[in-house]
Amino acid sequence: MIRFVVLLLLAGFVVRTAVAVEFARSQLVIATQDGARHEIAVELAETDEQLMQGLMFRENLALDKGMLFLYPADRIPQMWMRNTPIPLDMLFLSGDGEVLATANNAVPYSEAIISPGIPAAAVLELNGEAIEVLGIEPGDRVEHPRLSRGQ
Q: Could you tell me if residue 14 is inside a domain? A: no
What is the arithmetic mean of pLDDT over 131-136? 98
Does 12 reside within a domain? no
In a domain, 86, yes or no: yes
Tell whether 9 is covered by a domain: no
Give residue-wise pLDDT tens across range 71-128: 999 999 999 999 999 999 999 999 999 999 999 999 999 999 999 999 999 999 999 9
pTM of the predicted structure, to 2 decimals: 0.86
Evaluate whether residue 3 is within a structural domain.
no
pLDDT for the residue numbered 8: 40
What's the pLDDT at 11? Answer: 45
Work out how many domains the chain is built from and give that number. Answer: 1
Q: Is residue 11 part of a domain?
A: no
- Separation between Cα atoms, residue 93 and residue 142, nearest integer Å: 8
On whether residue 30 sits in a domain, the answer given is yes
* Residue 2 included in any domain: no
- Measured between alpha carbons, how far is 74 from 84 in angstroms, rounded to an integer? 25
Q: What is the extent of the structural domain holding 137?
A: 23-143
- Checking if the pLDDT of 15 tops 80, the result is no
CA 102 to each of CA 18, 65, 99, 106, 113: distance values in angstroms, whole numbers, following the listed order = 26, 17, 7, 11, 14
Tell me which amino acid residue 27 is.
Answer: Q
**CATH number for position 70:** 2.60.120.1140
